[in-house]
Amino acid sequence: MPNAPKIELVQGDITQQDTEALVNAANSHLAGGGGVDGAIHRAGGPAIMGELKEKYEGCPTGSAVITGGGNLKAKYVIHAVGPRYMGSPRDAALLKSAHLKSLELCTAHNVKSVSFCAISTGIYGYPLEEASPIAIETAADYLKAHPEIQLIRFVLFDSKTYQAYKTALKELSASGSLENR
């Protein structure tokens, strides 16, 4: 019997992960940038940007597109566009959608393991205490309906981000939402 799907948290560098796919925090122009986006493009090499330019003219906020992984260990990079935080209820819907569209791309490409960064929590200003429960809950809900994905890993760059996601995961577990996994 296969292992039950799981959600995992690690503090570290997303570009070093050995999952089949990495989820990049991209901008809607898919033009590269700083933070996680810049790190993934530097580590993955020019093939990733070349494929983005060839296949896509951009990506709306709340959605995602997929490319090969270039020089990364991951076979794929999923470029998810989260919202710039404005404090409106729409922000949460768009952040959830960015995670959901990324997971749907995993299913469509038969990806069994994926690493997410903390989408929208850097320069886009989404507060960690609001973003982390959205990310964790979306992942948990998706795994309930899609056990073909065996691992959703959140790779969190610093201890503050790691702690916020750890708290969100603990609260979701305490509520019983992660039972029967």
| Active centre residues (catalytic) | 37
**DSSP β-ladder status, 151-156 and 64-68:** unpaired
- CA-based angle 85:87:89, to the nearest 5? 105
DSSP assignment, residue 19? Answer: S
Structure tokens at 7: 């959600």
End-to-end CA distance of the chain: 13
Rounded Cα–Cα distance for residues 80 and 2 (Å): 29
